[in-house]
Structures are given as C-alpha cells and as structure tokens.
Chains A and B, each alone.
Chain A
Amino acid sequence: MPSKRGQAHFVAELEDTPVAPLDRLDESQKARSTWADAWDSMRRRPMFWISSILILIIAVVAMFPTLFTQVDPTSCFLKFSNGLPEAGHPFGFNRQGCDVFSRTIHGTQASVTVGLLATALVTLIGVVIGSLAGYYGGWLDAFVSRIGDIFFAIPTVLGAIVLMSVLPAATPTSVAFVLSIFAWPQIARIMRGAVLSATNSDYVMASTALGVSKFRILLRHVIPNAIAPVIVIATVSLGTFIVAEATLSFLGVGLPTSVMSWGNDIGQAQTSLVTSPQVLLYPAAALSITVLAFLMLGDILRDALDPKARALR
C-alpha cells in the first residue's frame, strides 16, 4: 500500500530556491524609529494634511488677525444691527452692529489660547503625576489616584462654572488654569496605565539588571514608551477645551464681554437667533472647524502611534 501512495522524494532546484546567508542584516534599508515610522504613515494620509493645514491657518489667524481683516471689531454701529452681508462685511453684522467676520477672526486668539494653554497644563500635570504614581506605586499611587478620583468625579464644566463665578476678572489664562484643575485626572490616569505596563516590560528589568538607576529608567525608558497615548488624548482634548471655554463664555462665567471670543459671540447671538441666524452661524462654524481639525489630527496620531496598527504595515 505505501508504495502505491508513497510520495517521491522531491528536491527543489537550487537556482529556484537559493539559500540566503543566515540571519544577515539587510544594510540597504534605512533605519526607522517609532517616530519616523509614525511620520511615514501619517504623511500618506490626506486627512493628516487637511487637518494640519487647517490648524496652521487657525494658528496664523490667532497670531495675526489683522492680516485677515482691517475692520475694527469693536467699532459697532447700531444702524447696521443684524445687517445682512455687504461689500467689505462678508458675514454681515450682529445685533450690536459689529462686523461678524472681524469678530470671528479676532475671537480666534482667545479661544485658541485657552485651548493650547489648558492642554499644555493638563498634559504637564497629568504626565508628571501619572508617571510618578504608576512608576513608584505604593502609597504615592494610592494617594494620587484617590485625589484624581475626587477631581474626576466633578464634571469639568460644572466645576469650572463654580470656580469661575467666584473668581474676579477672567482672562484666557485664568480660564485655562481653571479648566486644567478639573481635567488633569484623565491624562494622569492614561499616563499611569501606560507607565504601569511599560514598567513591567522586560527592557526595564534588563536595564535594572544592567545597573541603570531607577529614576533614569523612568526618564529614558518608561516615559518615552508610555507617552504615545497621552499625545493622542491631548490632541483630542485641545478641541474640547476650546468648546469648554465657549460654553463658559456662553453661560456668562467665562471670558468677559470685553474679550472677543467665539463663546461670547455665540452667547450674544442667541438673542437674535430666530430673526438673524447667520450671526450665530459664523462663530459656531469657526469653533466646529477648529475642534474638528484637532479631532482629526488626534485620530490620525492614534493610528500612527498604535503599535498594533503599526505591526500590520
């Protein structure tokens, strides 16, 4: 029986299956770090370029509003109240008779400042506290985590409303501070988790056994390997801080009406919402586009920095 179905001993032609040197390093390829890899994957995505260009434009508008409009946003004439668009005033006028285009452009600065500043603060506090708690553990972790939980239990906007209403004259900086007081636990939690898993990795144990000091391991190995998810969340939260500022200003506890911001303009527009909705439309659209741009960027960053997604490429 075996003879009938026995299979011949087949040997492939050597030319067809050349045997390569064992485990030789391919020197022709370019070296690739995680970040180079992430950049490589991001730049292939049109969404990355769209969101980056949007963010760039928003940044330029925030820094140099006068490049985009010569009209003074504070010179308002009641005769133009709720006026429709006309030459030189493409977005029309609001109830006070101020130029909506000019106000939207000039409002960018306050909104973006709050967003950037709050994100920077939250990331700084969150990364420091999260990594110390996750890395050193013990009572420090327990203590910090409970404090974080307390703040976590207070909705950011609600907490900010309470705090803002007792603070004197609000500025973009003070709004950013107040928001970050209530928003850092989210970043700290994420950082703590990422640090925990990085701390338990073999390369940390290897470094310990090599005699590298504990704090040096935290700085050189743990944090660089744990920071990626925080970057993603920080990018996304930048948009939410801008929304939060708008919410506070809309409710009248944020920036004072003397400071131009999208939130203030949206708040003022509600009085004439039915008669002239275009007054609301423009600052709201500016807000949405800004938030969307950061959300998009965050999404792309997530894809680029996610090791699982990277492995598939």
Chain B
Amino acid sequence: MSLVLTENTADEFQGAEQPLLQIRDLEVGFQTQRGLVPAVRGVDLTLYSGQTLAIVGESGSGKTTTAQAIIDLLPGAGKVTSGQILFEGRDLTKLSAKDIQAVRGNLIGYVPQDPMSNLNPVWNIGFQVEEAIKANGLAQGKEARARTIQVLQEAGLSDAADRLKQYPHQFSGGMRQRVLIGIGLSARPKLLIADEPTSALDVTVQRQILDHLGTLTRDYGTSVLFITHDLGLAAERAEQLVVMYKGKVVESGPSQEILANPQHPYTQRLVSAAPSLASRRIQSAKHASAGDAVIFGEGSLDDTLVARAADRENAAPAQDLISVQDISKVYRIRKKGLRTDELRAVDGVSFGIQKGTTTALVGESGSGKSTVAKLILQLESITTGAIEFDGQDVAGLKGKELLKFRRRVQPVFQDPYGSLDPQYNVGNTIAEPLLAHGVGTAKERQARVKELLEQVSLPWSSRFRYPSELSGGQRQRIAIARALALKPDVLVLDEAVSALDVLVQGQVLNLLTELQTELGLTYLFITHDLAVVRLVADNVCVMQKGRIVEAASTDDVFDNPQQAYTQELLAAIPGGNFQFGR
C-alpha cells in the first residue's frame, strides 16, 4: 500500500490546473463465500471542475461500483482494495467514516438510479428534502423550510410550496427524479454523481430532466459524473467519456471524439451496436455461417443493415394476418365506497399486420401498448371491438379453439428475469409448450428442444441450466426458443429487448431478424424505444393515451413524422442525430 500523502500528490500537478476528482488505479473487490471477487480493476479517471464526464459500459462492467466507491457507499461486502480517489487533492479512501460523511452531500451530491424506490414512502417530500438540508447543515428551523421550497423550485417543481406535504406516490416518476436531483444539488456540491438518473423514465421526460440538470449544473459550475448505458446520452451530454468493460477502463477521452472514432475493439463493438435514428433496418445475414461470427464478425451492424421496406412495397399486398378493429379496453377502478371509475387503457385502436412483417407499437409508459399485446394474446378480454387472426374472430375463444390459437400466436415478455420459472431448467422450460399441447413423444420433444437451442445459438449442454445461471440475453433467447417451440406464425414481443444491454440487445434483434426470414414469422413488436424500432420494424403505430396517433411505414414515420407527438418523441431520443463512427 502506498503511503504517498495528499500534499505530495498535489505537488505533482503544480503548474497545471488541479483536477477536481482524480481516481488512480482504483481496485474494488467484493467479499463472497468464494473469496474476493474483483469488480473494479485499476481504474484511472480525471475530472476537472465544471466538466461533465460519463462512464459507460454494460451491466457488470463496474461503472456503478466505481461511483459508489467515491463516496464510500459500496454495498456491505465491497471494499476499496487499493488505489486513490483524490477529491480536491484529498484521498477519500483514507478518510474516516465521519469525515466522508462531511464530504457526502456537501461536496459531492448523489442522484440515485431509481426514483421509485429512493424516496421513503412513509415521509412526505418536504420532510425528506428538509432532512437532507439539515443533515448538510445548510439551514435550520424555519429557514430550512424556506430552503426546501427553494431547492424544489430550482429542481423544476414550480408549485413546490403546495406540494411539500405530499407523499412520493403522489408524484410521477419524472417529478420524483426532480426531487432527487434537488436533494443531490441542495448543498451546491462541487461534484454531482448521477447514476443512470433517467433510465427509468420516458424519453420525453428524460429529456426535460437532463436539460434541467444541465442548466442547473452549468449555473452552479458543478461537475457531473454520469453513469449511463446509453451512448447517445453520453454523446449529447458529456464532454468526457470513460468506457468500462469488466472492471477496467478500455478507452477514455473526449466523448465526441471517441464515439466518432472508437479505437478499442470493445468500444467499436459498443458503438456499432448503439441504435440511433441514423440506423437502418437489420437485414438478415443468413447466407453467412451461424454464431457470434456472423453477428459481429463483419465489424459493424451497418454492413448488414439494408432497407428492406422498398422490396416489401413492391410485393403484392397480402391480406392482414392479424387485424385489429376499433378495440377498447376499459378497467374499472374502485374508488371510495361503492363508486367506480372507468379507465380507458385502450381506446378505439385499429391496425393490421401482414404476414412476415414486423409492426412496432411505440409509446411511453401508460400509453396502453402492453394492454394491446395482452388483448391480442387473449390474456385479457376486450371491452369493445374485434380482433381477427387469419380471418377468424378470436375474441372470446374457449377450450380447444383457444388452445389452437395459442399455438399459433406466442408471446415473449419484457423481463427475462421474471418470465422463466426459476425452478425449471432450460430443457424443461423449452419443452413445456410441447408437453402442454401433447406434441410428439418424449424423444421427439427432445429432438425439438435441441433444434430450438441451435436456432437461438445456445449449446445443447445448456439444457440442464437454471435461469439464475444465465445472463439476461441468454434468458431472453430461451424465452424466444420456448415461444418458437410450437412453430407459431406470430410472435408478440412485449418490450422483449428493453431490459438488455445494448450489445446483447443488438444480438437478440439480429437473432429475431434471422428467425423471421428463416421461418416466415410475423412480429408485433412493442417497445418504448424508437431507435430500436428503426432497426426492426416495417411499420410503426405510435400510441399515446390509449390511442394510435400515427401509423405508417417505419421510413415514413422517421423521415417525415406528421404528428407533433411523434416529432417530440423523435427529438427526445438522446444523441438521436449523432453520427456514430462505425
């Protein structure tokens, strides 16, 4: 362990401006039953005052751990094993618990990731902000209350004074995140660490929040350390970029330069997989051999991205495989006493999907897009309207007929951690639909499982695995294999790639495209992410508040959006128009 003290280290920088934060050769490990597992391995990072720096990387790359190490908020089993974290020349790793507490909040603010769980539901908002203000010794008593209102107003809650007594559940996600930003900035810290501050929010809200955060930090001269998985966000909001991979920094420097001209193979991979508005639809590359080599072997996705919509338009118009006519879904919400309120989750939606094409249903949370998926899947009953599949009305199907329909229309759900039974191994999971529909003998079923595993590029040996041993992408591939087991015509993909890291997301999207060409599948692709839509969809329906506001071919929607809402959505995509070097 080096005993170089802070004064000496500061001297080395005489002449040059001293960085606000300098991390040197930081190593962080987690103590587990199987020994010390390193999470951060020799990270170097420099941040000057007033600068914004983004750490990007996939989950498990150590980016959050690095940020937590700075303010000594590592979870229980984690500890800094070596290296220095110099903040204004002081080594934070050597401070006592009491001293670091003085740094937290006062000098370094923190905005956590999830606005839903980071406010205490049993205390009102005013109390929680006031608590932060008092804890940082900014003000006491009446003054603290006034300061609370000021902080919240600065964070963009104009009616703060009236809302102090309200509780977190009365605030929307965006407003809660504003409260957290307000708390983080309440002491005018010199550095603000924002850990995925907007990843749980809709794009339009994200944009407002980030704009506001940018303005505030510029006004106060605060440095910002962003942790994000979104390269577009990094390109748009950060001057400096640090790319982390498996606990190490693989590339760092000015963000625009790196993203326009990535040098490290990992960064190149990451950049090429980042969907943006400039992307084109993925074209199947099935002529090449299977496996990873295809998916990223060509160096970049764009080599395989060719517009396919034109070909489709030339083809003879076929009858819609799925036709949704003016469907509505009304939920009754119980109010006080016996009164009920109506919630129109889906309100007069109509669209059609042709065989072999992909239609994307895009919208923000609460737009009713997932409800449409459940209605089509017959997991919920429609209130009014009709759904036709292959010329047959499917609403109210029962018994055998419903089972027949289920065989042909299969779902893949959002959460790859939730949609697989943790007690079932992969082989049983994939074989389940075969078993449920009484398809084949045990031997035939096994052969089918083998075939399906091959189709989703997983080894035969993986059939004994349990979901907890698989990564998110692998689980989602299992979910796709399970959905394909009965050779369906339609897959309903409800946010199927939203929970995945960008690289894995690219891989799964490629897989889906391959399968579509190979098996002639029809996709209903439900997502909030317009950039992904660009990669996979032939047609787009934009939903807002239960209605479809715009429906057209993908190119039309992206190149020439008609509705103000669509335009707003497109404009809100972070770094949407940034030209990534590929």
Contacts and interface: CB of A to CB of B under 8 A. Distances in A.
Given A210-B406, A312-B77, A11 B251 contact: yes
Contact of A22 (B377, B407, B420, B507): B507
Interface string B47-76: 010010000000000000000000000000
Given A201-B418, A211-B403, A211-B437, A5 B507 contact: no
Given A22-B503, A31-B464, A213-B436, A202 B413 contact: yes
Given A9-B254, A12-B264, A14-B264, A22 B295 contact: yes
Given A19-B245, A206-B411, A225 B421 contact: yes
Nearest to A8: B253
Interface residues on A, range: 35 or more
A25 B462 contact: yes
Interface string B466-501: 101111011000010011001000000000000000
Interface in A5-19: 5-12, 14, 16-17, 19
B257 interface: yes
A9 B377 contact: no
Interface in B434-468: 436-437, 458-459, 461-462, 464-466, 468
Contact of B248 (A16, A20, A33, A203): A16
B404 to A, nearest CB: 9
Contacts of B295: 22
Contacts of B473: 23
A19 B254 contact: no
A8 B253 CA distance: 6
A10 B51 CA distance: 18
B12 interface: no
A5 B46 CA distance: 10
Contacts of B254: 6-7, 9
A225 B421 CA distance: 8
Contacts of A31: 425, 464-466, 469
Contacts, number: 155
A29 interface: yes
Contacts of B479: 206
Nearest to A12: B250
Contacts of B436: 207, 210-213, 216
Given A19-B245, A206-B479, A9 B250 contact: no
Contacts of A32: 466, 468-469
A308 interface: no
Contacts of A29: 469
A44 B32 CA distance: 13
Contacts of B402: 211
Nearest to B465: A31
Nearest to B265: A19
Interface in A192-211: 201-203, 205-211
A14 B406 CA distance: 49
A89 interface: no
A4 B16 CA distance: 8
A90 interface: no
A86 interface: no
A57 B419 CA distance: 44
Given A12-B250, A210-B482, A17 B17 contact: no
A34 B419 contact: no
A9 B482 contact: no
A209 B432 CA distance: 12
A211 to B, nearest CB: 4
Contacts of A21: 292
B33 interface: yes
A176 to B, nearest CB: 31
A207 B432 contact: yes
B423 interface: yes
Interface in A28-87: 29, 31-34, 37, 41, 44
B131 to A, nearest CB: 27
A86 to B, nearest CB: 51
Contact of A23 (B403, B415, B471): B471
B504 interface: yes
Interface in B395-439: 402-403, 406-407, 410-411, 413-415, 418-425, 432-433, 436-437
Interface of A: 4-12, 14, 16-17, 19-25, 27, 29, 31-34, 37, 41, 44, 201-203, 205-213, 216, 221, 224-225, 307, 312-313
Given A27-B459, A216-B436, 11 more contacts: A4-B16, A7-B253, A14-B264, A17-B246, A22-B296, A25-B462, A25-B465, A41-B33, A203-B418, A203-B421, A210-B486
Q: 6 tightest A-B contacts by CB? A: A9-B253, A202-B418, A211-B406, A31-B464, A212-B436, A202-B419
19 contacts: A5-B19, A5-B48, A5-B51, A6-B254, A7-B253, A7-B254, A17-B246, A19-B245, A22-B269, A22-B504, A25-B458, A27-B461, A29-B469, A209-B406, A209-B411, A213-B436, A225-B421, A307-B422, A312-B32
